[in-house]
Amino acid sequence: MLTGEYSHSIDAKGRLIIPSKIRDELGEQFAVTKGLDGCLLLYPEDSWEAFTMKLQSLPSSNSKSRKLQRFFLGGALVTEFDKQGRILLPANLLEFAGMQKEADAVVVGVGNHAEIWSSSKWEENNSFDDIEDVAEEMGNMGLDF
Could you tell me if residue 13 is inside a domain?
yes
Q: What does each C-alpha distance from 49 to 43, 56, 72, 87, 118 come to in angstroms? A: 9, 10, 12, 20, 26
**Domain annotation covers residue 83:** yes
Domain membership of residue 61 (yes or no) is yes
Long-range contacts of 130-137 (CB under 8 A, 24+ apart): none
The pLDDT assigned to 142 comes to 84
* 36: in domain: yes
CB atoms within 10 A of CB 23: 18
Residue 103 lies in a domain: yes
The confidence band for 129, taking pLDDT boundaries of 50, 70 and 90, is: confident
Question: Is 138 inside a domain boundary?
Answer: no
Q: Which of 75-84, 86-95, 100-109, 121-130 has the lowest mean pLDDT?
A: 121-130
| pLDDT tens profile 19-49 | 999 999 999 999 999 999 999 999 999 999 9
What CATH number has the domain bearing residue 30?
3.40.1550.20
pLDDT computed for residue 144 by the predictor: 72
Q: What is the pTM of this model?
A: 0.91
26: number of Cβ within 10 Å = 25
How many domains is the chain partitioned into structurally?
1
Q: What angle do CA 31, 36, 38 make, to 5 degrees?
A: 90
Q: Flag whether 127 is in a domain.
A: no
Q: List the domain range (segments joined by +) for residue 30.
A: 5-120
Residue 125 lies in a domain: no
